[in-house]
């Protein structure tokens, strides 16, 4: 740990060793009666990173988080959180964690400020003025009784509650739910600042778009199992890009031949069109998975009049993992090939 | 704003206790007004009741079983009248409901609303939460009972009740113990199930069964054994306003409540919260 780091980090996270993982979950299972919520969940969250877990509702995200906080006890397996076994961990551990529950229900006449003060009394100390700073960032009125707050404002109060004591680890269950897009951006900024300050963030969502901006690594959870853990960059690599191009001086069949053999190319449709200048042209649409370099090389000698290669849609590739865990990559590709047009998420689900 | 920022770094001692107590202030006031109204309604009537032969005739004309059920058999003395009306009937009803409501809300209601999950994710232990909230329950009940003591002592002279203040104090403590036991069981019921309504059910069971067993036990010698199972009888069967309380009753109530609280802590330690 360098001097620069310690000087710029007022939070307690800076003072503890950063060699070990912030969270190490080993084969956690959990039964609720006859239903099994978690089937041996194993993952590691490095210190100072932002780790996202995504999965559909009921995948076990909340259960995993509650197990880390010792709110529920795993049926088997264990988790080490900030170097301490989470089970029956003392209050000292939880003081170093900020937690935002997935279903934040706040009731009563108590004002937001008093409620935050109460939790500061338990888990503090809280830096003077920090609560007000956070509240101002989120345009949150702390004088209101909590029961009168809207869903979004309750969520903001929950976020302030989790961040106010600058904990080493933040465990945030669906943190952006109920927030408007502007506040979602503010939240993602807060997460970035936390990481820059050496804090570790473990957050969940059922949509990757919320996480992909903030997270370094993403675990995909489905039916109580982790399907894959990958960096956002790696997901991006495997993610499918939609491409659309128009070239003149080449017949559809030739273009199809040139592009069809490329790795990761699927759903290729080449049609003859007339370009804006009136010349004969060929338009191709397809999806492309993996590296784009071979594709660029293949089209480099063509006279292109239009080329659109979209930002990879992580959500789409992740949805494929949600819904088709056992299928091979080939069948993934085949499934994708049937979808030529980007539809809404509902349509995508239907198509499977 | 200055006041708040000044307190931001403060870490209050016993925060769970403080909040559990402070949250119920408004309700406390309501229950206090209720019990005060009942006391001011019943006790000033006493002088006009005993002096008149009509009242005695009325009491005599009532079926013996009814008088025993209502515990009106010692109603002709000020002490007996106060015990039967204030402690044995309206006070037991009002403060019993209050205590059971508080007890059921403290863990069962809190878990149901999702707040307990958040609280337990902070720097507390579950045992600490139970202990501090139980302490808040005890304090609330003792404060209400203290109010009853003061009001009855004030009316003692004007209403010609002739109550021994020492016995009044003992009766107040027995009464507090009785409602505390009901409230503790409500707390345990809430901790076991995570539901407020089961807490209320458990607490009400102790209160109602205690009352019914006392009434049944009063009816005949064959049923007197039911008195042994009736917390209500443990409190009032020996006429504490006239004779003082028995040590065993104090032990039963306060020791029993502590045991129930300990069981609550054990139960909450084991459970998955909010599932």
Contact criterion met (CB < 8 Å) for A129 and B5: yes
Q: Which residues of chain A have a CB within 8 Å of the CB of B272?
A: 32, 66, 71-73
pTM as predicted:
0.81
**pLDDT level of residue B25 (50, 70, 90 thresholds):** confident
Q: Which residues of chain A have a CB within 8 Å of the CB of B128?
A: 91
**pLDDT level of residue B10 (50, 70, 90 thresholds):** low
Contact criterion met (CB < 8 Å) for A119 and B122: yes
Query: Is the ipTM beyond the 0.85 threshold?
Result: no
Mean pLDDT per segment of 10 residues, for chain A of length 352 residues?
39 47 93 91 94 88 93 93 88 93 85 93 89 95 92 94 95 92 92 95 84 86 87 77 89 89 87 80 88 87 88 69 51 41 38 36
Question: In terms of CA atoms, which chain B residue is nearest residue A108?
Answer: B23
Compute the average pLDDT of residues B9-15: 69
Contact A289, A210 (CB under 8 A): no
The pLDDT value recorded for residue A194 is 95
> Does A205 lie at the interface with B, CB-CB under 8 angstroms?
no
Contact criterion met (CB < 8 Å) for A121 and B120: no
The pLDDT value recorded for residue B95 is 96
> Does A317 lie at the interface with B, CB-CB under 8 angstroms?
no
CA distance B26 to B61: 43
> Does A105 lie at the interface with B, CB-CB under 8 angstroms?
yes
Which among B12, B114, B123 has CB closest to A92? B123
Q: Which residues of chain B have a CB within 8 Å of the CB of A99?
A: 118, 121-122
**pLDDT level of residue B52 (50, 70, 90 thresholds):** low
**pLDDT level of residue B11 (50, 70, 90 thresholds):** low
| Cis peptide bond upstream of A125, omega within 30 | yes
> Does A270 lie at the interface with B, CB-CB under 8 angstroms?
no
Q: Which residues of chain B have a CB within 8 Å of the CB of A124?
A: 8-11
Question: For B112-122, what is each residue's pLDDT tens digit?
Answer: 988 999 999 99
Contact criterion met (CB < 8 Å) for A118 and B10: no
Q: How far is B42 from chain A (nearest CA, A)?
A: 34
- Structural domains in chain A, CATH included, are 3-235 (3.40.50.300), 239-351 (3.30.70.260)
Compute the average pLDDT of residues B51-59: 70
Question: For B61-83, what is each residue's pLDDT tens digit?
Answer: 888 778 777 777 777 789 999 99
Contact criterion met (CB < 8 Å) for B15 and A95: no
φ/ψ region of A27 (left if φ > 0, alpha if ψ in -120 to 50, else beta) reads left
Which among A71, A117, A122 has CB closest to B274? A71
Question: In terms of CA atoms, which chain B residue is nearest residue A164?
Answer: B8
């Amino acid at each position: 740990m360098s001097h620069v780091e310690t000087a710029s980090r007022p939070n307690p996270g800076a003072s503890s060793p950063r060699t070990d993982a912030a969270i190490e979950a080993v084969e956690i299972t959990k039964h609720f009666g006859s239903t099994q919520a978690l089937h041996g969940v194993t993952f590691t969250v490095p210190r100072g990173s932002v780790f996202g877990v995504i999965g559909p509702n009921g995948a076990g995200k909340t259960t995993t988080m509650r197990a880390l906080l010792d709110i529920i006890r795993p049926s088997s397996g264990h988790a080490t959180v900030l170097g301490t076994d989470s089970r029956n961990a003392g209050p000292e551990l939880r003081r170093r964690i900020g937690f935002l529950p997935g279903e934040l229900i706040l009731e009563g006449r108590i004002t937001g400020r008093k409620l935050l003060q109460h939790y500061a009394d338990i888990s503090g100390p809280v830096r003077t003025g920090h609560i007000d700073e956070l509240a101002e960032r989120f345009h949150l009125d702390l004088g209101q009784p909590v029961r009168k707050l809207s869903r979004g404002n309750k969520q903001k109060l929950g976020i302030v509650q989790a961040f106010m004591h600058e904990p080493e680890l933040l465990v945030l269950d669906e943190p952006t739910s109920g927030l408007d897009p502007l506040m979602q951006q503010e939240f993602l900024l807060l997460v970035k600042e936390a990481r820059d300050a050496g804090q570790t963030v473990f957050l969940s969502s059922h949509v990757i778009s919320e996480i992909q901006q903030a997270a370094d690594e993403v675990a995909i959870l489905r039916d109580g199992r982790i399907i894959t853990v990958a960096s956002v960059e790696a997901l991006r690599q495997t993610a499918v890009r939609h491409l659309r191009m128009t070239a003149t001086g080449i017949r559809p069949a030739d273009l199809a031949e040139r592009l069809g053999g490329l790795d990761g190319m699927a759903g290729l449709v080449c049609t003859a069109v007339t370009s804006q200048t009136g010349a004969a042209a060929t338009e191709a649409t397809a999806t492309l998975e993996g590296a784009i370099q071979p594709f660029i090389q293949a089209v480099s000698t063509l006279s292109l009049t239009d080329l659109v290669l979209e930002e990879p849609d992580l959500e789409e590739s992740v949805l494929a993992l949600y819904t088709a865990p056992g299928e091979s990559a080939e069948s993934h590709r085949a499934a994708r090939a049937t979808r030529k047009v980007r539809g809404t998420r509902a349509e995508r689900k239907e198509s499977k | 704003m200055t006041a708040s920022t000044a307190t931001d770094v403060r870490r209050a001692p016993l925060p769970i206790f403080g909040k559990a107590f402070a949250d119920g202030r408004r309700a406390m006031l309501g229950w206090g007004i209720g019990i005060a109204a009942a006391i001011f309604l019943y006790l000033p009537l006493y002088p006009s009741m005993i002096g008149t032969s009509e009242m005695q005739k009325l009491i005599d004309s009532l079926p013996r079983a009814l008088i025993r059920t209502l515990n009106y058999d010692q109603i002709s003395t000020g002490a007996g009248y106060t015990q039967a009306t204030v402690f044995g009937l309206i006070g037991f009803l009002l403060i019993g409901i209050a205590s059971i409501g508080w007890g059921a809300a403290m863990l069962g209601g809190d878990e149901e609303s999702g707040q307990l999950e958040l609280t337990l994710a902070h720097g507390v232990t579950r045992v600490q939460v139970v202990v501090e909230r139980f302490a808040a329950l005890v304090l609330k009940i003792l404060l209400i009972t203290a109010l009853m003591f003061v009001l009855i002592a004030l009316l003692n002279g004007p209403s010609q009740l002739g109550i021994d203040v020492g016995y009044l104090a003992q009766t107040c403590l027995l009464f507090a113990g009785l409602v505390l036991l009901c409230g503790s069981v409500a707390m345990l019921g809430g901790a076991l199930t995570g539901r407020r309504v089961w807490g209320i059910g458990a607490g009400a069971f102790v209160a109602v069964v205690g009352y019914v067993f006392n009434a049944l036990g009063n009816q005949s010698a064959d049923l007197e054994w039911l008195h042994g199972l009736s917390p209500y009888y443990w409190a009032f069967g020996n006429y504490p306003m006239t004779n003082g309380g028995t040590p065993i009753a104090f032990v039963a109530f306060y020791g029993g409540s502590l045991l129930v609280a300990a069981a609550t802590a054990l139960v909450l330690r084991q459970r998955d919260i909010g599932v």
